[in-house]
Amino acid sequence: MAKKSKQTKTLPIYILNGPNLNLLGVREPEVYGTTTLPQIEKMCADQARRHGLSIVFRQSNREGEIVDHLQEARTGASSVIINPAGYGHTSIAILDAIQALAIPVIEVHLSNIHRREPYRNHSYVSKGATGIVMGLGAQGYLRAVDAVAEILKVSK
């Protein structure tokens, strides 16, 4: 008879992307780079696999839908990586949903929002984030996956 494995599988990392990130690759490439969102998804899945982890990768242009995904993460995810895009600068609802989570949350921005227009210098999401990665382009997502893997390993 096959031995039952005692290893419990870690829940996936939810990687959530806000409005207009579906246009990565063609949208202001001088600011956001030329890597597309499907390419970032694949890079993240590969990186997570190297750490023995899996991902659920989503993009939405709708604030309420992002709130729904964050609420789903309460029971469905081990951790969250979120690029809230423009909603980071405006959305208390997304911050509230993040603050209702009891898991690590890493905020990602492709660009360094502090080097940009004043209205981009503040992020509501940062108040609820465990950590922040910004200004590293698509690579920033991979560093966020590394950070989550390290945090989950330590808290196991």
126 in contact with ligand DQA (CB under 6 A) = no
Q: Maximum distance among all alpha carbons in the chain?
A: 64
Please give the structure tokens belonging to residue 7. Answer: 């290893």
Give CA–CA dist 137/139, Å, rounded: 5
Nearer to ligand DQA among residue 46 and residue 119 (C-beta):
119
Choosing from 14, 32, 87, 124, the catalytic residue is 32
Q: Least distance in Å: CB of 69 to ligand DQA?
A: 16
Bridge partners of residue 80, in order along the sequence? 14, 105
83 in contact with ligand DQA (CB under 6 A) = yes
16 in contact with ligand DQA (CB under 6 A) = no
Q: Least distance in Å: CB of 121 to ligand DQA?
A: 9
Residue 93 · residue 124 · CB < 8 Å: no
User: Is 32 annotated as catalytic?
Assistant: yes
User: Is 69 annotated as catalytic?
Assistant: no
CA angle 71, 73, 79 (to 5 degrees): 135
66 in contact with ligand DQA (CB under 6 A) = no
Give CA–CA dist 62/28, Å, rounded: 21
- Residues near ligand DQA, by CB under 6 A: 20, 83, 85-86, 88, 109-111, 113, 120
Active site residues: 32, 109
